[in-house]
Structure 1
């Protein structure tokens, strides 16, 4: 696969879809001045920019001020669309059914003993005592997953966006393979963390499928989209977009899915491609 610098300038797109962690963001979770300028220039040229991430809406503050125009971001691997101009208000939710989540918990407990779980809802995250939370949430409920997913009455609980599963001993890709083999017919399993932390969404829910819905609402075809990503949760989006770029630091699955390759997130790989697109106008 050639690098982005060796490739001819891509055709002018109508929409740029970019992952955040490991892609648009540097390793210190900031956005470089060069990238900020490239995003603003793309919007000024009439190209919409969508942030498409595994992060929940409440963790979008790092880029919220860089969303112009529509103000929308696709969060939680496609389970939610948030309006960042309205403090992350969710305008579209594609939930994971609690019955499906409970099935996934049961199956993974048997297939990979030692798995611990967290449940991401529209109201926040809740987790099991053994689950290692990445960010301490004072509002979280700590209990076994079966209790976290139980409702007092059908429909009474907040919608579930995704189920998270962590294993302290399995290698990340091994854990993903185990989960897909055991419960892949129940939910969509992927990963974006360098650790053995999996994310499960409802059937058919992914970054790609929600991006496709948002594009269809705007009359934008896959051929008019340029996408960027670096991890397995970006694979479907990279395949769906007419032109896609895996980062120089990307997982092999993302590299295989993309039509091109750019520099690493620390080298402003997204900005390099955007600048080349705009230079061709």
Structure 2
């Protein structure tokens, strides 16, 4: 059994957050030939449900960079690792010392709760709440699946390295959103969640083909037997992936799937 693991933004989706007709057909062909297709995204379940439906995908999706597994058929959500609010608040204090002018939000999976100064709007923004103060943000009951930190400035590899050194007990990553750092509980990664699914299915890394474009994809790209970066990927991803395909806007994922599953590459035009 082949397991195809594919990131959404910047990889499967085009720059305008849509999916081409050719890519939809390639995914359908892949599934028809018995492969499992797993979405692995930094997006929370509420976004992933919509985007998976547009791509014609069912099965399971790894969401929030590996903190959550979503059953696309039943809608069931399994939180693999949550971040307590006290721990999120403590991490935010460290981030604020490293990224001046930073604003924070917490992602629950079904809601994004933003703190003061949060100006970023995600594509297809839904289910957003606003906390009046940081104290209100941290005072929420329960936990979150990730802490989001945003500034108008670019996130550099040096900033990420500093945060990882200062927050060694947490997972710190970057998925490509301008100015955004994402922080989750210890051990959270797309690779860990995909490995858990593969163990359940009796699949091993050699059975896995993974596609990605950003540093948050690196763990699963390095774990999978076959790793593919799209041409628009982050330099680290281009360097470490086993293969580079065309960009997300040029049907890079579809090109590889057509080669693997013996479809004619020009049968279905982009649309």
1:255 aligns with 2:238: yes
Q: Are the aligned partners of 1:34 and 1:268 in contact in 2 as well (CA < 8 Å)?
A: yes
Spell out, residue by residue over 1:198-235, the C-alpha distance to the aligned partner (whole angstroms, 9 max, x if none): 00111000111111111111111011000000001101
1:98 alignment partner in structure 2: 85
1:27 aligns with 2:10: no
- Give, in whole Å, the separation in 1 of the partners of 2:99 and 2:57: 43
1:275 aligns with 2:229: no
1:210 aligns with 2:197: no
Spell out, residue by residue over 1:72-104, the C-alpha distance to the aligned partner (whole angstroms, 9 max, x if none): 111110111112223x43134321233321221
Change (3 A) 1:122 1:93: farther
**What TM-score do you get using the length of structure 2 for normalisation?**
0.89
1:179 alignment partner in structure 2: 163
1:126 alignment partner in structure 2: 113
Spell out, residue by residue over 1:124-147, the C-alpha distance to the aligned partner (whole angstroms, 9 max, x if none): 110112012324556503233443
User: SS of the counterpart of 2:209?
Assistant: strand
Structure 2 unaligned residues grouped into runs of 5+: 264-271
* Structure 1 range deviating more: 227-236 or 97-106: 97-106
- Give, in whole Å, the separation in 1 of the partners of 2:82 and 2:200: 20
- Give, in whole Å, the separation in 1 of the partners of 2:111 and 2:72: 17
Q: How many residues align?
A: 260
Structure 1 unaligned residues grouped into runs of 5+: 1-12, 152-156
1:56 aligns with 2:40: no
1:245 aligns with 2:228: yes
**What TM-score do you get using the length of structure 1 for normalisation?**
0.86
Q: Map 1:8-27 to 2 at 5 A.
A: 14-27=2-15
2:35 to 47, 54, 61: 47
- Give, in whole Å, the separation in 1 of the partners of 2:154 and 2:13: 27
1:163 alignment partner in structure 2: 147
* Structure 1 range deviating more: 103-112 or 30-39: 103-112
CA RMSD in angstroms comes to 2.0
1:38 aligns with 2:26: yes
Spell out, residue by residue over 1:168-215, the C-alpha distance to the aligned partner (whole angstroms, 9 max, x if none): 2354434323322322x1311111124120001110001111111111
* Structure 1 range deviating more: 106-115 or 268-277: 106-115
2:268 alignment partner in structure 1: none
Change (3 A) 1:227 1:149: same
User: SS of the counterpart of 1:279?
Assistant: coil
User: SS of the counterpart of 1:55?
Assistant: coil
Q: Map 1:128-167 to 2 at 5 A.
A: 128-135=115-122, 137=126, 139-151=128-140, 157-167=141-151
